[in-house]
Each structure stands twice: as structure tokens, then as C-alpha cells.
Chain A
Amino acid sequence: AQTVTQSQPEMSVQEAETVTLSCTYDTSENNYYLFWYKQPPSRQMILVIRQEAYKQQNATENRFSVNFQKAAKSFSLKISDSQLGDTAMYFCAFIPPEYNTDKLIFGTGTRLQVFP
């Protein structure tokens, strides 16, 4: 089975601090894509960052970075200098390398609250 697990239903962090959201996944494949999506109260899904499994270097997008541990099948998201606008649901997701469809499989989500 190809599943994605986010073990932290809720997290909170103070503004300007750093927070890490964890994600583990299960796949028997070797090449795949991993993503973190953000869903703010507007419910619009927004791509935060992506990682290709065949790349060893961790992806970074401004204040967002990942810690990709392929052997451990772990893909955590670190948010540095947290801002109030980071308050949202965060979903880890990946695309199993199925050739005919590129469907995203989502984790259960982590609700992040940033406090002033």
C-alpha cells in the first residue's frame, strides 16, 4: 500500500520561531515526487515545496525547507521565522510513479497555528 502519514494533528508555534512538521510515507517504488501543500482558511490549496526522490539535496523555498530521508521514508517540513500567515493546514503528499496517472496521495494533515 502507498500511504502517507502525518503523526501531528495539530502544532503551534510562536511568531518568528521555527517549527517542523513530520511526514512519513510508504512505497515500494524508488522514484517519486513528494510535496507539501498548504491549505489556509480560504481552503485554496497552495504548493509550498516539492522534492524529487532521486535528488539527495533537500529542497528549499525561502523560509521553507525539507529534511528528506529516503531510507527512512521521511519527509519533514521546516518553517523558519514563522509568520501569522503561515497558519493553515499542511498536507504532505506524494505521487507514486504510476505511468498513466499522476494522482496525489495526501496525508491526514497537520493544523499549524502561529501565535503572535
Chain B
Amino acid sequence: GAVVSQHPSWVICKSGTSVKIECRSLDFQATTMFWYRQFPKQSLMLMATSNEGSKATYEQGVEKDKFLINHASLTLSTLTVTSAHPEDSSFYICSARVGGTGREPKNTEAFFGQGTRLTVV
């Protein structure tokens, strides 16, 4: 299957600083990438949909200014947690789909990065 690489896999930062997480599709082009947040022993909560060349679409309740998303190319999306606070500590996961919005089965599988554990101290 396709490979999505997420970096870093873990990061510790001081409160008030910003941290950037990268999500790359290694062997395919992804017009759309998704960013999720996962609290311990909980499900994945969709934060935003990252669209190449346009603004991200944020889910209700997600602060746009806190979680900056950039999707500058077909293979890279970044999530920047700005002015991080301890409550932002979480596991962040990105995913990407192959191709566009086709309804063929091969276009509906989402490939996930390995996740980033963010700890804000």
C-alpha cells in the first residue's frame, strides 16, 4: 500500500512555543490530507481537512489560529501548534488518500502516518 510518513514521531516542547509536524505522502500524490487528534484510550477526532493549494477546512470547535495547517504541495502537509500549552499535549495523526474524490475502492482507502506524540511542559 501507499506510505505516509509523519515527522517527528514524538516531540517535547516548552509551554508558549510552537511546534511543527510534517506529513508526507512518499509514493503518491495527495490532494487531500486529514489531521486527527487522539487522546489516550480514545478515538480519533478529526481536526481539519488539508487541501493542496487552498485553505484548510476546520472541524467545529478546532481553533484555526492555534492549529495552523499548510498544504503547499501534493506530498506535504504541515500542522503547526502555535503557542502550545499543556492541554495541547496529545497524539496527532495525519492521513492521506490517493487521488481525488473518485468512488472506486482504490480511491477510498486512507493511509495513516505513524503519529506524533506531543508533550508540552
Contact = CB atoms under 8 A, between A and B. Distances in A.
Interface of A: 33, 42-47, 50, 52, 91, 95, 99-109, 111
A24 to B, nearest CB: 15
Given A43-B115, A108-B42, A33 B34 contact: no
Interface residues of B, number: 24
Interface string B33-44: 010001001111
B112 A109 contact: no
A102 B101 contact: yes
A47 B105 contact: no
B57 interface: yes
Contacts of A105: 46
Across the A-B interface, give the 7 residue pairs with the lowest CB-CB distance, nearest first.
Answer: A45-B112, A106-B44, A106-B43, A108-B43, A101-B49, A33-B108, A43-B115
Interface string B41-73: 111111001000000010000000000000000
B29 interface: no
8 contacts: A33-B108, A91-B43, A99-B101, A101-B101, A103-B46, A103-B49, A104-B95, A106-B44
A44 B95 contact: no
A104 B46 contact: yes
A101 B42 contact: no
Contacts of A103: 34, 46, 49
A99 B103 CA distance: 10
A103 to B, nearest CB: 6
B22 to A, nearest CB: 17
Contacts of B114: 42-44
B110 interface: yes
Contacts of B41: 111
B118 interface: no
B101 A45 contact: no
A45 B95 contact: yes
A50 B109 contact: yes
B97 interface: yes
Output the residue of B41, B97, B110 with the most chain A CB within 10 A. B110
